Chains A and B, each alone.
Chain A
Amino acid sequence: MFKLHRPGWLTALALVIICCTRAFAQPAVFSKPLSPRIANYDIRVRLDPAKRMLHGSETLKWFNQSGDVINELQFHLYLNAFRNSRSTFMKESGGVSRGNKIDKDGWGFIEVDRIALTSGEEVTGLMEFIHPDDDNAEDKTVFRLPLAQPLPPNDSIVVNIDFTAKLPQPPFARTGAKEEYFFVGQWFPKIGVYIDNQWNCHQFHAASEFFADYGVYNVKMTVPEKNIVGATGLLVEKKMNGDGTATHFYHAEDVHDFAWTTSPEFVEFIGRGQDVDIRVLLQPDHIEQGLRHLEAAKTAVEYFQNWYGDYPFPNLTVVDPRRGAGGSGGMEYPTLITAGTAYGLPEGLRLVELVIIHEFGHNFWYHLLASNEFEESWMDEGINTYTEIQIMNDKYGPAGDALNFMGLKLNTLQLHRAQYLFNAAIDPTVRRVWDYYSNGSVFTNSYAKPGVLLTTLQNYLGKETMRNVMRAYVERWRFKHPKTRDFINVANEASGQNLNWFFEQALFSNAVLDYSVDRVFTREVKKGEGFDFDLSSSRPDSVMTKRTNHKANDSAEAAGKPKMYDSGVHVRRLGGFKFPVEVVATFANGEKVRETWDGQELWKKFRYLKPTKLVSATVDPENKIALDMNFTNNSKAVDASRLGVNKLSARLLFWMQFLLDQPEFMNLFTAFIPSF
């Protein structure tokens, strides 16, 4: 793939030269389009910081690349989710998002002031709010615009929209303002996606994210001149307006969204990861973590490019949200992500690394591969959680890759598996976001479970094969809208196996996976008693051979040979999820017998006759099946050890004693009062 952008400063220079000659012209980053470029925007917007208002006008050029005649357009007005307490978003969320609440006077909204077509024809009066998901007449996050002149296939339409918006305070559900800090996402009237012969333009739901078509964005943002700006794409020009404001012109190609941020307080850190320029906009509280942010971003860029494919964009901006603006943290936009940290965050608590790796990952699973986040959230959040698990473990593992602090070690996989355990069976993984049973189920099925199930698949296929699958998926579906079935098809092809049996259970059912070793036993084979053993050799051979082993043991014992032991291992499948599994039986002489069970039946019994005792048996001995609900019941010993119980009991006893030994009164109060 040809890239004009390397090195980055040359690109920037080229863009500046181009722009000096053509006002609001379209500078080029890529020599030819990487995406279909269906929805293209030129936007001018002015920020009124005191009122948290945006005054904007956009020109949308939309191409009808479907084979249908289009009779209407549909648009998102995401900011209207924060308009009042009766929007679908607010009803579903109860007014709380990630623990944040909008201030009393912090409501946000967007008003369309005027819509006109290229012909100059004003069509504002034709716009009509619709509620395709829940018939909530008070939700104003989607509107339709009937076209008097239907748009034939392969034709385009230009729509000019003037709008006024107010940002919520504090930042809520990714967007908003806090004092001098603004994070501006989902802020302009944005056209839906025409796909599968219809508009896919969902209302803004509490747990949902977004879905959009690719295009080219030229955005001019006017902000106070002392402000620093970060945005999707590349800075083309910064113009001082002489009235205390400056206009920042950003250009982005082959992206499906545009977000920006501004604050006079940002401290800039610049670096480079492989062929990507990295810019970190840090809050002054966190200056000492600047290099940490840069390193994490470099790690993310390097791992993703090495493992999963090329990141074709020349730059990446990492934004550190202001204190009190956590609602805008941990979010992804094309070439722009937000992280989140706290002053004094210990190195061993790898929150910064985890969030940056996760959010950069979305520049693959969301941006390069624009799946529908409303309908199949596992395809962005889930696949991204899987890649985050792998990178965190490779970079900071093998133990304690997420937390390695004061002797406590926790891996990212363990973190996600823990969440999965508590909500494993509530819903199938693939659902529309607002159709899940609960918030817990949304997050489990969007993030944790897919991360765990894809790790299970990786352990089943092998790392290399799984990376081939992911690379093939990126290669085939970049700059398109893949669906779950597309991912499965790629996985089948790239692995050379039919994995439908796995995905059907893992993605389309709520079946849980739990294998257990139910019983182990070992007993000495005693000398036989009864009819057969008392017979003379005149008995027919056919009868005698039925007792061959016993007879052999008797004669062996008589000849001073080792005793024989009859041992058994009973393995059960406790959940509905069927998965091939390994069983290892360990014997007293160190011998290990490895068995494979396809897991189709409810149980399987293994029987051994050996001159040594069975010591233990383990199903899935390397814990490859991360989906297994209970690793503890995966093994059984003939003579169980109480070491663990005793050690944990001793530890617990000590801490209980210590708690109780605090000076009088303190034990009642100190233990239960939050520290800060």
Chain B
Amino acid sequence: MILKSLQLGWQMARANKRMIAVFYLANLFFGLLLMWPLRVMLKDFIGDSMMGNKLGGALDMDFLFEFIKHNEQASTVFFGLVFIVPAVAWLFTLFLSGGALAVFAKGEKYEPALFWGGAAKYFGRFCRLALWSLPVLAILFCLQYLESGAQRLFFGKDPYQNIIYWGGWIKAGLRALSFLLFGMILDYARIHAVLNDENKMRVSLRTGLKFISQNFLSTFGLAFLLLAVGGLALVIYNPLANSLAAPNGLIILLLFLLQQFYMLFRATLRLTLYASQLHLYRGLATEPVPATIASPEVVDMNGLAPATE
């Protein structure tokens, strides 16, 4: 079931290249929002210095410290951005996910009206869902403290450093697991909301939780598989990117293209996950699931009146 869902999800994602482009461009846009102030600071600081050429090769640590020192004030503004932009980007991705799920649920190809209409239709619900799910996140986040408890129980207050060290890794693994589980719960809750046109997000959240607990191996296996593919891609990407180190304009362009190709792949993976999960849900859900969904309302931009397709 997992592999079949994955296969179908991959096909559906690839059949919706425009949707991939939307997700990728959104990511690029927010990435640029974060990067651009740094680029301006870099450009100002480097000026016409030959450091501009030198940094085309390896990073110069002296430069890094000087840059931080000479941009202490601007750094504060940047760190503000680092908190704000991801929050906005997250909201926007939440918004886009409604569109993607609407398209996949209807089993159709990307249509602007369907995609953006779906995004608009479900955004409010998904925001409510996110708020409802905060306690779940808090509980899952506490999973990692199982390790702290076990450590205290078995090794006391003063364990050797190897216990602390390996315990730290276990804790990090538990934390990652809790985020993965949370993502899964949120995903299936969204799928339920879209497929059943559910307005009550408590119900969707509960259904998502129930679905995962009843089909843990399949749901977890699917999510983990896609996470692993993403990780594997990063393992392949890193040495390739590192090999593009020569201070040469063409090499830097190649590096940029490689990076963007990797991000494009990740956007595809994200959509594959949505489509695969949706397929899995349809296949495993015990309660009846509509084979398709009603089209979302779209806005008639000319008449500014609600209209349906």
Q: Which residues of A contact B (CB under 8 A)?
A: 179, 283-286, 323-324, 342-344, 407, 409-411, 414, 417-418, 421-422, 520, 616, 618, 623, 629-637, 640-654, 656-661, 663-671, 673, 675-676
Q: Which chain B residues in 148-203 approach chain A with CB under 8 Å?
A: 158, 160-162, 164-165, 168, 171-172, 175, 179-180, 182-183, 186
Per-position 1/0 for B84-95, Cβ under 8 A of A: 011101100110
- B56 touching A414 by the CB < 8 A rule? no
A644: which of B56, B97, B162, B171 is its contact (CB, 8 Å)? B56
Per-position 1/0 for B33-68, Cβ under 8 A of A: 011001100110111111111111011011101110
A342-B46 contact in complex given A644-B53, A649-B35, A650-B256, C-beta closer than 8 Å: no
A600 smallest CB distance to B (angstroms):
25
Q: Which residues of B contact A637 (CB under 8 A)?
A: 48-50, 52-53
Which 5 residue pairs across A and B have the least CB separation, nearest first?
A644-B55, A643-B56, A343-B161, A640-B48, A657-B31
- B89 touching A660 by the CB < 8 A rule? yes
Considering the chains assembled together, what is the distance between the CA atoms of A314 and B270 in angstroms?
A: 66
- B52 touching A411 by the CB < 8 A rule? no
B160: which of A284, A616, A623, A653 is its contact (CB, 8 Å)? A284
Q: Which residues of B contact A629 (CB under 8 A)?
A: 66
- B62 touching A414 by the CB < 8 A rule? yes
- B182 touching A665 by the CB < 8 A rule? yes
Considering the chains assembled together, what is the distance between the CA atoms of A664 and B58 in angstroms?
A: 33
Per-position 1/0 for B5-26, Cβ under 8 A of A: 0000000000000000000000
- B39 touching A652 by the CB < 8 A rule? yes
A283 smallest CB distance to B (angstroms):
8
A323 smallest CB distance to B (angstroms):
5
Q: Which residues of B contact A654 (CB under 8 A)?
A: 31, 241, 259, 262-263
Residues of B in contact, count (CB < 8 Å): 73
A421-B65 contact in complex given A644-B52, A676-B171, C-beta closer than 8 Å: yes
Jot down 9 A-B pairs with beta carbons below 8 A, ordered by A. Answer: A344-B162, A409-B58, A630-B70, A632-B49, A635-B51, A654-B259, A664-B90, A666-B179, A667-B86
> Taking chain B's interface residues, is the majority helix, strand, or loop, or is none over half, making it mixed?
helix
Considering the chains assembled together, what is the distance between the CA atoms of A298 and B121 in angstroms?
A: 71
- B46 touching A650 by the CB < 8 A rule? no
A121 smallest CB distance to B (angstroms):
48
- B86 touching A659 by the CB < 8 A rule? yes
Considering the chains assembled together, what is the distance between the CA atoms of A564 and B252 in angstroms?
A: 35
Q: A632-B66, A663-B179 are in contact. List 17 more A-B contacts (CB 8 A).
A: A342-B165, A343-B161, A417-B62, A631-B66, A632-B63, A636-B48, A642-B43, A644-B53, A645-B42, A647-B255, A649-B35, A649-B38, A656-B31, A660-B85, A660-B86, A661-B263, A661-B266
Residue B221 interfacial (CB < 8 Å): no
Q: Which residues of A contact B165 (CB under 8 A)?
A: 342-344
Q: Which residues of A contact B70 (CB under 8 A)?
A: 630
A304 smallest CB distance to B (angstroms):
27
Across the two chains, which residue of chain A brings its CB closest to B247? A643
- A417 touching B65 by the CB < 8 A rule? yes
Q: Which residues of B contact A642 (CB under 8 A)?
A: 43, 52
- A645 touching B35 by the CB < 8 A rule? no
Considering the chains assembled together, what is the distance between the CA atoms of A217 and B158 in angstroms?
A: 36
- A407 touching B242 by the CB < 8 A rule? yes
A644-B266 contact in complex given A407-B242, A650-B259, C-beta closer than 8 Å: no
- B55 touching A645 by the CB < 8 A rule? yes
Per-position 1/0 for B212-225, Cβ under 8 A of A: 00000000000000
Per-position 1/0 for B63-78, Cβ under 8 A of A: 1011101100000000
B220 smallest CB distance to A (angstroms):
14
Q: Which residues of A contact B87 (CB under 8 A)?
A: 668
A647-B86 contact in complex given A343-B162, A637-B50, A664-B183, C-beta closer than 8 Å: no
